Homo-oligomer: A and B are copies of this chain.
Amino acid sequence: MSGRPAPDAVRTVACVGTGVIGGGWAAHFLGRGYNVVAWDPSEGAEDRLRHLVAQAWPALTELGLADGASQDRLRFEPDLAAAVDGVDVIQESAPETLELKRRLLADIDAVAAPDIVISSSTSGYLMSDMQVDCATPERTIVGHPFNPPYLIPLVEVVGGEKTTQEVVEWTSAFFTAAGKSVITMDREVPGFIANRLQEALWREALHMVAANEATVEQIDLSITDGPGLRWPIHGPCLTFHLAGGQGGMAHMLHHFGPALESPWTRLISPELTDDLRDAMIAGCEDEAAGRTIDELNRERDAGVIAILRALGRA
């Protein structure tokens, strides 16, 4: 623990890999007032990074920059060891191939001070599979953001087999201090949570295009003008809680239970056991936290109207 600062005392972040995601992370940390040291071995990476940060800056400014936040706090460093030297935390955002991630994490691990947390933006690999070549794997962890990281709040945090619980807690606390919305998972699942959901939708979309069942434009319109307007408000579970009328999720599962066996997607549904039914109902009740169906409906209505207006569509 000697070298690791308190999560809210982090001042300097190394961004290793500065494509769309790594660059977005750099923009986020700069907007929050951190110093950022960036490293990326690809030709022209620094120019692309500075373009991305400059393009993100109006959005960051509109959301409110932290005191002292400045694009001048970005330093591009061509040497990896120099890039991670003296930083408080490292965010890796290299291309999404396992071999490359494995090697890069081992390279970072070899040159970074021993207690500094190395967080990976991987979209779905397990840290257990990525940390295998690290000498000190206990400080490696997944911190998975969403594009663009400077605007979408979510970060999924999950350790590998060799990651310590202390590092899991530190990383969640750091991202929270850095203004992110954190889901801390207590077990590894490929793709984590949001990407499994998003990917299921995306794969069905690809299947539909491949089978000439829908065009790209119809797919996008079906979401922007349909379910996509509800998901930012309540998420898929609480949204369906409201599809059940006053009976909530229990009635919804009763009403649409038979449809779960319909070929409404290429993904086969799980068996709707009593346990699963109970878990869905209890989960929605917990999440509703006392809000009645009428109250949730009003919240959804206000939210949809606000979104339509915000997007200039009402």
Q: Name A residues whose Cβ lies closer than 8 Å to a Cβ of B.
A: 19-20, 48, 55-56, 58-59, 62-63, 95-97, 123-125, 146-148, 151-154, 156, 181, 183, 185, 187, 189-210, 212-238, 240, 242-246, 255-256, 258-260, 262-273, 275-276, 279-280, 282-284, 286-287, 294, 297-298, 300-311, 313-314
Contacts and interface: CB of A to CB of B under 8 A. Distances in A.
15 contacts: A63-B308, A125-B262, A151-B308, A152-B227, A152-B304, A153-B226, A153-B313, A181-B221, A185-B214, A193-B213, A198-B236, A209-B280, A210-B273, A216-B284, A303-B310
Contact of A203 (B219, B242, B260): B260
6 tightest A-B CB contacts, nearest first: A216-B283, A220-B235, A191-B264, A228-B231, A306-B310, A154-B226
Contact of A234 (B220, B256, B263): B220
A63 B314 contact: yes
A267 B265 contact: yes
A297 B58 CA distance: 12
Given A232-B307, A309-B310, 16 more contacts: A123-B264, A147-B243, A152-B225, A192-B222, A193-B213, A199-B265, A199-B267, A204-B267, A209-B283, A210-B279, A216-B286, A217-B286, A220-B235, A220-B287, A221-B235, A224-B232
Nearest to A306: B310
